[in-house]
A and B are shown apart, each in its own frame.
Chain A
Amino acid sequence: MKPPVFDYRAPVSVEETQQALAEYQADGKLLAGGQSLVPMLNMRLARPAVLIDINRVTELAFVRADDGGLTIGALTRQQALLEHPTVQERWPLLAEATRHIGHRTIRNRGTVGGSLAHADPAAELPAVMLALDAVVTVSSTRGERQIPARDFVVDYLTTALEPTELLRSVWVPALPPRTGWAFQEVSRRHGDFALVAVAALVTLDAAGVCTDARLVLTGVGPTPVPVDLRQTLIGAAPSPAAVAAAAEAAQAAVDPPSDVHAPAEYRRHLARVLARRALTTAIERAGGTE
């Protein structure tokens, strides 16, 4: 369980990082918090020729909020995000979901950008970023581009990032008033990977009519699964029957795998139950009664 031989570069700026990525192309692999990559190295599942360690690129570790939204630098540690007062106050869904990532010791090292770029099928942050309609900024020596969260994770452990691109930050828009949120997860033990997790956001207008609702599931397939709620919740004041219908839609939207942790049937069951619980809580927090 020792990592294979690799060469090591430790750039101290975004520019140096981009140059290193351009130099090594597919032979280079970015190392951020290392909480997923280093296990893969130790188990010899990954054998990059060169590790490009961005832990000294301090310009990538920041959390900035303004009226329009929240920008999170890629090297922001998950624990720092979780403890950030503005995140807790204005984007509590992010803080609540991040609390489910591993254990504190993992979150002390694990980064926001690393979690997104790794795109584990049971990871919390890719699902939550999808629910929040986030936009990822990536760059290389050829320039910068923005990728909406819905286009970012394309398959199992696969994102829209090119081998020479660096994930720099993720932007999360401000939430409208009267938006409720919830994150529900079931895992074998706290800190384990999610068997199924659900992120929900519900926005009501002054009359209590649902104007927007988002539901994203993770742990149910190769990528996070968004559920279309236009036929069930959006456009009317939420009722228990509408929530039940939305939860049925969530169950119908997933085609989860069976593995050593849980059979597909149990995951399908969890998809419905967690969707119902998350939507119910989100509606309450938005000021509705369900």
Chain B
Amino acid sequence: MVEKRPVTVTVNGQVRQAEVEPRRTLADFLREDLNLPGTHLGCEHGVCGNCTVLLDGQSVRACLMFAVQADGHEILTVEGLVAPNGDLHPLQEAFWEHHALQCGFCTPAMLLTAYEYLQQHPVPGSDEEIREAIGGVLCRCTGYQNIVTAIRAAATKLTAAGPAPASRSVAD
């Protein structure tokens, strides 16, 4: 038995602490230890992208990181996109309005991947560029068209609302 290590992370703006085995993946840490099951696990070997979260504002696959590696860092999961008053993030609203989810399994990863893309490209490029940006997340319902439409619609909404990020956390 390997000794557990203390881990302190800021998740969705809240400081969270736990003791974990080194082999605890960041994804399992979020889901099991911090009770945040919005981060979905598909393949658990870095192919499907469904466990994508943001680490210090950059997308990472939570199945390919260990919780001990996140010590001292800031994480945004899909649970952190919602405003404190419960309002959906404009990206979430756009996904809803444009039917950008079918089974919903890839939705958290799609939202966070799109969130990173729109932080860097407030005015999104061509549909091909949006497709490349979300290329790391597999949607087995193959509902990509409406996801692209929703990301574009969210960008319009976000730029109309002004430059302030609508989320409550994450260092940009």
Contacts and interface: CB of A to CB of B under 8 A. Distances in A.
Contacts of A3: 23, 25
For B49, B63, B68, B69, the residue with the greatest tally of chain A CB atoms inside 10 Å of its CB is: B69
B45 interface: yes
Contact of A103 (B5, B58, B66, B136): B136
Contacts of B133: 104
A45 to B, nearest CB: 10
A8 interface: yes
For B21, B23, B58, the residue with the greatest tally of chain A CB atoms inside 10 Å of its CB is: B23
A2 B25 contact: yes
B125 to A, nearest CB: 13
A56 to B, nearest CB: 9
B132 interface: yes
B38 interface: no
Contacts of A5: 1-2, 21, 23
A102 to B, nearest CB: 7
A109 B2 contact: no
B147 interface: no
A106 B61 contact: yes
A263 interface: no
A108 B58 contact: yes
A86 interface: no
A8 B46 contact: no
A165 to B, nearest CB: 23
B12 interface: no
Interface in B7-38: 21-23, 25, 28
B135 A191 contact: yes
B52 interface: yes
B127 to A, nearest CB: 14
Contacts of B132: 190
Given A6-B22, A104-B59, A109 B136 contact: no
B46 A35 contact: yes
Nearest to B138: A189
Contacts of B47: 39
A79 to B, nearest CB: 8
Interface in A50-108: 51, 53, 55, 79, 102-106, 108
A105 B23 contact: no
Nearest to B136: A103
A4 B68 CA distance: 15
Nearest to A10: B68
B107 to A, nearest CB: 16
| 5 A-B pairs with least C-beta separation | A103-B136, A8-B22, A1-B44, A39-B45, A38-B64
